[in-house]
Amino acid sequence: MRVVDIIIKKKQGGILTKEEIHFIIDGYVKGIIPDYQVSALLMAICFNGLNNEEQTNLTMEMLNSGEKIDLSTIDGICVDKHSTGGVGDKTTLVVAPVVAACGLKIAKMSGRGLGHTGGTLDKLESIPGFTISVEPEKFFKQVREIGIAVVGQTANITPADKKLYALRDVTGTVESVGLIASSIMSKKLASGAHSILLDVKVGDGAFMKNINDARILAKAMVSIGEACGRKTVAMLTDMDQPLGEAVGNSLEVIEAIETLKGRGTPDFQKLCHEISAEMLLMTGTANDKEEAMQLVEEKIQNGEALEKFRQMISYQHGNPEVINNYDLFGKANKVIEVRSDKDGYVDKIKTLQVGNVAMLLGAGRATKDEKIDPVVGLEIKVKVGSKVSKNDLLAKIYSNGKNEEEAIRKLKDAFIVSDEFVEEQNIILDIITKA
């Protein structure tokens, strides 16, 4: 078997066999096959795509290239949730405690933010003392005892994906549905959950800009999950405006806590309820949507979901008093208000730009080694469709002085106010339960 023959086959639109995919991935991980040949194959895949069988075989090869998390020692149903990333997306901080309070087990490995998308680990680390580094035995013990743990990746999971992603990033081959789906699903399968809920963001602040492309990606991931024996559901959700109000690490944790107290903003609260309910349905914890939504609401109203979050903070060495005293997070030096120049309706919020403004302030990182300021960020006080008058508050900037003038200018430019009436946007765009 020769690499060049496999490249030519895919370049001509051929279907790669399981053996050919194994040959490529195994050889690349071992350093036998060079970057330039794999780059050529990746480009051929970008042009000609992968069918369902190729996607599944590629996923399995990446999965088998490293360690896998064995959750069999944990009683009950282990579930996982993955978001494709967005602006103000602190959903895991609410959904994980809610479903844990409903009896499911969340043994979740999350990631850090890069660029305009925030990372769950960065948000959690804004809690004083909180550690995302948990030894495997303590991780399993925590999930067994309280049903929830959200940690950083410690095992050598999917090293083939790490190598391939780094190469894709510098060769212009990121944007391939088959490669994206295989990358995401190899990591999710390696994490060991029985059931996987995928939150696929759609819109200006998301990787997938339109619903048709997002639906293709969602179906590809659901197909891989089904082929690998995991119950997998994908929800397509709106990212044409920031989610909730807060964008920035400690600000987003505070908004999540408020939501667990039953005081969330309508769009964020709705999304958290819908995702939690879907996870209860897909695991058979609830019989129908009405029962699932009632159970979610009950666990928030009786305080059990908030208690799960408190327990997780305590187990991971954070200060649980932040739940009652937000001053413990620390505060930015300055709060700057951005107001509307005119009467009208909010027609558009440039979500990608909002995320980049937060990054300018220090709430995100342009490179993986950049340090994050946990207290800076934004509060977006309007939604698409909101009616505003001149001088109404659009947003607040929480600043410690970094790139302040540029941030003010770009945030003001992110709001488009129209004279015409604008419909409010739906947060849930579609639910994909089978490929």
Positions marked active-site: 82, 161, 168, 183, 187
Tokens read off for 432: 């994909």
Burial of 113 (0-12, 13-18, 19+ CB in 10 A): buried
Let me know if 367 is exposed, middle or buried by CB neighbors in 10 A (0-12, 13-18, 19+): exposed
Helix (H, G, I), strand (E, B) or coil at 160: helix
Three-class secondary structure of residue 158 per DSSP = coil
**Contacts within 8 Å (CB) and 24+ apart, 270-275:** 270/427, 270/428, 271/91, 271/237, 271/243, 271/427, 271/428, 272/91, 272/94, 272/95, 272/98, 273/297, 274/235, 274/427, 274/428, 275/81, 275/91, 275/95, 275/197, 275/199, 275/235
β-strands 393-399, 415-418 pairing: unpaired
How many other CB atoms sit within 10 Å of the CB of residue 133? 11
Alpha-helix runs per DSSP H in 102-210:
120-124, 136-146, 159-171, 177-190
